Amino acid sequence: MNLFPERFFDSVDEVPFQSEYESGVRGIVFDIDNTLVPHGAPADDHAAALFGKLQDIGFRTCLISNNHEQRVRPFAERVGALFECDAGKPLKRGYLKAMELMRTSPEETLFIGDQILTDVWGANRAGIRSFLIRPVSRDTDPLQVKLKRILEIPVLFFFRRREQRKNP
């Protein structure tokens, strides 16, 4: 069970999207809540500008969420992305459907999310590279997410320790 992301960033603004495109990534799958906006918030101007930039670079984008369509569709429409709702993360099916929608292979796809036990684990299971983002706002996390974040503490500890050994 691989729970480690490939990389960790404080926000989506730190991800080197241009170099990812140059290295062959053509599709980016995003989680929504606390990756792009606080939990439950609508797509904002910042999210729309980010997706516009990604599309200008040449990326195809898809949102996957365990939320229902009434949450995901308006967000996807606002940012101009494909979407898969009720994705069942960390099961592989939502990630595979996202790649099908974007017409990308696992090798050309990148996933970005804020949770290890759903987002990162699911992407890794689907063979997609995963980047972990510091949550936008932990204050908006529902109780079940707060509990999962407690379980993520040892994983983050060992991930950071590994990264320190790789980059002393």
Domain map (residue ranges) of the chain: 7-166
User: Per CATH, the architecture of 7-166 is what?
Assistant: 3-Layer(aba) Sandwich (3.40)
pTM above 0.85, yes or no: yes
Reference 42, options 67, 11, 60; nearest CA is 67
> 148 falls in which pLDDT band (50, 70, 90)?
confident
CB distance 35 to 112 below 8 Å: yes
Average of pLDDT values for 139-164? Answer: 70
Instruction: Tell me: pLDDT of 158 over 70.
Output: no
How many Å apart are CA 108 and CA 99, to the nearest integer? 9
Beta-bridge partners for 29: 62, 111
Task: Put the strands of the sheet holding 60-64 in their side by side order.
Answer: 7-9, 129-133, 109-113, 27-30, 60-64, 82-84
Two structure tokens written together for 27: 């599709």
What pLDDT score does 109 carry? 98
> 108 falls in which pLDDT band (50, 70, 90)?
very high
Instruction: Tell me: pLDDT of 67 over 80.
Output: yes
What pLDDT score does 70 carry? 95
Two structure tokens written together for 21: 């495109």
Percent of the chain with pLDDT over 90: 73
Between residues 168 and 2, which one has the greater pLDDT?
2
What pLDDT score does 154 carry? 67
